[in-house]
Amino acid sequence: MRIAVVDESAARAAIIDEGLREAGLGDIRVFADRHGLAGRIEAFAPDVILISLANPHRDELEESFALSRAMARPVAMFVDQSDVAGIEASVDAGVSAYVVDGLRRERIRPILELAIRRFRAFSRLRAELDEARSALAERNTLDAAKHLLMTRRGIDEPAAYAALRKAAMDSGRRIADVADAIVTADRLMGTL
């Protein structure tokens, strides 16, 4: 497992590094300089990102949250102080574990494992949501295409569906793709 540690403090970074090495993890890179951070982390291609901020300022938090959103990897963030707004912003940004005043080397591995598990669970939920949205959009398009056929041809819903199904089978395409083509063609004809 490749782990990126982001911390400007050598002392805090050493605590994280020790905790990871004691847990049997050795492919670790510490990023102390924040200049060009996203590009350097992306080049390293870590499996997990650990960010440690002593007293985070709004700009540091925003940069860390942007990194979390862009990298699509588990991110654990250690902060010495926090407030409700900081916690809410971290959750919105996709930070998998947000730990306040808990930077101790014996806690690093459990927090790392928690971040990975939460990231995987959130990724599954996001995939399910995307799948449901896609299915709903296809269903709406199918209904719109059936409505167009019913109106234009003066047929009932089962006949409209049968026409869509036959067109899909004849063309070797999915019924949702045929329905989308019909709806798109109708929009084009309406705008010409």
CB atoms inside a 10 Å sphere around CB 75:
28
Helices (H) and strands (E) in the chain, counts: 7, 5
User: What tokens appear for 136 in the block?
Assistant: 């709903």
Domain regions of the chain by residue span: 2-125, 129-191
Selected residue with higher pLDDT from 191 and 43? 43
- Residues contacting residue 175 through CB under 8 Å, at least 6 positions apart: 142, 164, 165, 168
Selected residue with higher pLDDT from 41 and 80? 41
> What is the spatial order of strands in the sheet that 2-6 belongs to?
27-31, 2-6, 48-53, 75-79, 97-100
Q: Environment class of residue 77 by beta-carbon count within 10 Å: exposed (0-12), middle (13-18) or buried (19+)?
A: buried
pLDDT category, 181, cuts 50, 70, 90?
A: very high
pLDDT category, 56, cuts 50, 70, 90?
A: low
| Fold type of domain 129-191 | Arc Repressor Mutant, subunit A (1.10.10)
- Say yes or no to pLDDT of 192 above 60: no
| 72-103 tens-digit pLDDT | 889 888 888 777 877 787 777 778 888 887 67
Statement: 2-125 belongs to CATH 1.10.15.40: no
pLDDT category, 135, cuts 50, 70, 90?
A: very high
Domains 2-125 and 129-191 agree in fold: no
Going from the C-alpha of 85 to that of each of 48, 57, 62, 93, 101, the distances in angstroms are: 24, 12, 12, 12, 16
